[in-house]
Amino acid sequence: MAAAAWASAFLYSLLHTANTFSLPLCHGNVLGQFFCEIPQILKLSCSHSNIRELGLLAVSACLALGCLVFIVFSYVQIFRAVLRIPSEQGQHKAFSTCLPHLAVLSLFITTGSFAFLKPPSISSPSLDLALSFLYSVVPPALNPLIYTLRNKELKAAVWRLMTGWFQEH
């Protein structure tokens, strides 16, 4: 599964990179963005070749929808298996492992979807920058934090630090 994910991501990026380098740019080459994202590059293009890119994005959306269906199906199977665990403590432990990952995944999918599916009428450079930051930086940064907070000693230390700070202020 990891090899399939890596191979498909490589193919996806290769197709978009090849198409992007073939676009003639007539509005300059400066983006007011955090990343060189495809919709921002298409705004700089002066030809109708961006229809190819939109076709690639449509195929990519279908593939992403397939991945989303696979993820949802996997989580349904995981939750069904967890609910069959006889002890309540075992169920709690299993859910505490799955739910943080599901929360980070939901944040990534929600912000990424909004960033690419929002209407152009509400587009602004600062909003685009904030959304790019949200879906690209926040989920990877939250993932280790959430998993380390499952450690009881670390959780107790953070709790002592927070209560001490609030008592001082």
Q: What residue numbers bound the domain in which 137 lies? A: 33-168
**116 to each of 23, 38, 83, how far by Cα in Å?**
20, 10, 36
* Among 27-41, 91-105, 125-139, the least confident range: 27-41
Dist. CA 100–CA 96, nearest whole Å: 7
Residue 149 lies in a domain: yes
pTM of the model: 0.57
Start-end of H helices in 22-149? 38-44, 50-83, 88-117, 125-136, 138-148
Residue 43 lies in a domain: yes
Residue 14 lies in a domain: no
Residue 99 lies in a domain: yes
Residue 49 lies in a domain: yes
pLDDT digits (tens, 9 = 90+) for 77-94: 888 988 898 888 888 878
Per-residue buried b or exposed e for 77-101, using 16+ beta carbons within 10 Å of the residue's own CB: eeeeebeeeeeeeeeeebbeeeebe
Please compute the mean of the pLDDT values over residues 67-77 and round it to a whole number. Answer: 84
pLDDT digits (tens, 9 = 90+) for 106-158: 888 887 777 777 777 777 777 877 877 777 788 878 777 776 766 676 677 77
Residue 39 lies in a domain: yes
pLDDT class of 28 with cuts at 50, 70, 90: low
Residue 1 lies in a domain: no
Dist. CA 23–CA 39, nearest whole Å: 13
Residue 91 lies in a domain: yes
Q: How many domains does the chain have?
A: 1
